[in-house]
Structure 1
């Protein structure tokens, strides 16, 4: 080739194969080359047998998908740009005009907003059920119900439902069950084997933003299934919507995965120390932590996760009703190590006050507490320092 720029772009050097290191290589691509036209026409983007285009996967994204599927006990995985994008993908793939969706009353707020907004605009209806009462779910299933979302634990109020019972009801009625498994992260319990081989939920969604990433700096979600036909149905929508993830972010999650169980256990251990300590304070009316006796759904958590099981690093408290919203806000503002911010699973502890009255439907599942609720995400700081921070914050009440 006579022109240097052409030689630069089409340089024939290729590095030798079989390079191995602790971290896998990062492959970025929109365009993927084919050896010839026959290979181009023969390639099927719906499988991992080869590569067709960056949106359909590279060695880097395939590797993360396979590891996440193995983590949760599933067989197929799709990546999305955020946890909410993963939730939206499932609903958009499985619902059409005239269908009905059932959501738990303690559902992740943006999931409910999706149902009230875009899904309603498409002619898809939704109803709320009491997640702590499987009979309520069974009673509300109709011949139009196509999808039921389950959360364990509730993302703000932390009730832990009887997940096997909810999944069983859906299975018996031929309705797809989808679990937001961000809290459990594939570590607290196996979502596809709740009562035995193949007797679990149909779909498990995670916000990889949380524990799999662990750094508070990546947005990503996953959709995992154990049914090839169901996976293909979601994958087709995934393709038609043009959903993709940045490979640098994929590499960041890959790098964090080996330490996830260590971090999860550390978050869990510190959260239990702080939750038990706050339960002894007279400023606190109720601690909402699945692993603590007296917390809603504790027996369900114990049955599913085991008496010595894992329980993440997230919990909420309800302040005694003598403390108003302004006082509780003052407590949150006074905290120094707990930063005000959404999300969880990162190294820095977070705190958020919530108005449960704006989030729950009293006709579905009446909220039994009157005080203001505050949710804590416990990071990786020394638990003694976090407890001291809470103590000085309580003095601001």
Structure 2
């Protein structure tokens, strides 16, 4: 009988019993040097790593702790090979650097995580890699692809406004043309959605967010099923000298054990907050694909198994100064740029940041909320007092 994902997350990446006993969790294994029994054994390991296999010839490649996390992430995402990077942005950079060369073209959804644009302007352009942006909801991908397009990079839902993207036709068109599809899956973090199952070549995540779940580690994750992509990623990973400490790998592995219950509670709390905000007279719109009124709800229901703790809210007749004042007036929502931890967060997204989203039509921006694991009635009361204090009852 196939096991439920919740059960598999509780058991994957655990150490085998040694003789008749062993620890529940994989221990933290630290080393800089890997010893070998013989030159032949070392050469065999070097050959395996060159072919893309997850083995170590040096401490930078990781040991038992990192291997256990990679195994668990493959279980989560439905992949056969995983890489750990120092951050989510490092996972994005590694993927695009591994799959492109001077003269290539990369097509990116316009609602993407903003640092991707900085990577484009600061590094890819300097390397001779052209990057274009498109809105899948209004621009057919066929009209945006170039003869030299090598990668299509998507994030679903999008950042800040959480636009849903129909990955199925994008994958079909790209597969027919030999174009790699890379998907940022941080929003669902492998629990609610799996891009590889829909045909994407690479799925990546910021393990900093829901994988860790406690706002105490920085990590990125890349997962694939394809041997050719695995070889490219391993070669570039080694050339860049990337490494993740066993301590952070241990924290991420520990976070995976509670991912199921945390994601379900984040979804419950966020939907309660989103529904309350949607009914508030001072609210123009709530951006949350799990809401029945959201334009992306049908796609979300088709492809996703659930939602996370993120939503954005746009207020009626609200200036940027008032938007900031509401954020400042919140007590239970800390002001911070990240999300995915147990705590609730708020961050203003101004029109300047949102201008790259073709779907955005507003005057003062939005407040992005990450709804944490606090009691949702307390969070709603906090929002009520902050909105009333700035915009009136």
The structure 2 residue matched to 1:378, chosen from 358, 367, 371, is 371
Partners in 2 of 1:50 and 1:110 — Cα distance? 31
Matches within 5 A, 1:203-282: 203-282=202-281
Contact 2:91 2:204 survives alignment (8 Å): yes
Aligned to 1:340: 335
Taking structure 2 as the reference length, the TM-score comes to 0.91
Partners in 2 of 1:50 and 1:297 — Cα distance? 42
Contact 1:83 1:221 survives alignment (8 Å): yes
Matches within 5 A, 1:12-91: 17-18=18-19, 19-44=21-46, 45-46=49-50, 48=53, 50-91=55-96
Matches within 5 A, 1:160-171: 160-171=164-175
Aligned to 1:159: 163
Partners in 1 of 2:387 and 2:337 — Cα distance? 21
Partners in 1 of 2:283 and 2:174 — Cα distance? 37
Partners in 1 of 2:218 and 2:133 — Cα distance? 28
The structure 1 residue matched to 2:313, chosen from 300, 312, 317, is 317
Contact 1:75 1:226 survives alignment (8 Å): yes
Deviation of the 1:369 alpha carbon: 3.3
Deviation of the 1:184 alpha carbon: 1.1
Q: Structure 1's 70 and 353: CA in aligned 2 closer, same or farther, altered over 3 A?
A: same
Q: Structure 1's 391 and 122: CA in aligned 2 closer, same or farther, altered over 3 A?
A: same
- Asked if 1:289 is matched to 2:291, the reply is no
SS at structure 2 position matched to 1:248 = helix
Contact 2:314 2:365 survives alignment (8 Å): yes
Deviation of the 1:372 alpha carbon: 2.3
Note the alpha carbon deviations across 1:320-360, whole angstroms, 9 max, x for none: 1x110111111000000000001111011000001133443
Aligned to 2:180: 176
Contact 1:76 1:226 survives alignment (8 Å): yes
Deviation of the 1:366 alpha carbon: 4.7
Note the alpha carbon deviations across 1:223-253, whole angstroms, 9 max, x for none: 1111011111111000010000011000011
The structure 1 residue matched to 2:140, chosen from 133, 136, 143, is 136
- Give the gaps of 5 or more residues in structure 2: 1-16
Note the alpha carbon deviations across 1:111-167, whole angstroms, 9 max, x for none: 11101110011011111100324x532211011111111111112111111122222
Partners in 2 of 1:50 and 1:351 — Cα distance? 41
Deviation of the 1:371 alpha carbon: 4.1
SS at structure 2 position matched to 1:193 = helix
The structure 1 residue matched to 2:382, chosen from 381, 384, 389, is 389
SS at structure 2 position matched to 1:192 = helix
Contact 2:98 2:236 survives alignment (8 Å): yes
* Length, aligned pairs only: 370
Aligned to 1:101: 106
- Between structure 1 and structure 2, the one with the greater Rg is 1
Partners in 2 of 1:143 and 1:378 — Cα distance? 43
Q: Structure 1's 49 and 269: CA in aligned 2 closer, same or farther, altered over 3 A?
A: closer
Superposition CA RMSD, Å:
1.6
Deviation of the 1:85 alpha carbon: 0.3
Deviation of the 1:70 alpha carbon: 1.2
State the 4+ residue runs in structure 1 displaced beyond 6 angstroms: none
SS at structure 1 position matched to 2:249 = helix
SS at structure 1 position matched to 2:140 = helix
SS at structure 1 position matched to 2:247 = helix
SS at structure 2 position matched to 1:84 = helix
Note the alpha carbon deviations across 1:297-340, whole angstroms, 9 max, x for none: 111111112xxx301111111111x1101111110000000000
Deviation of the 1:50 alpha carbon: 4.8
Partners in 2 of 1:226 and 1:297 — Cα distance? 28
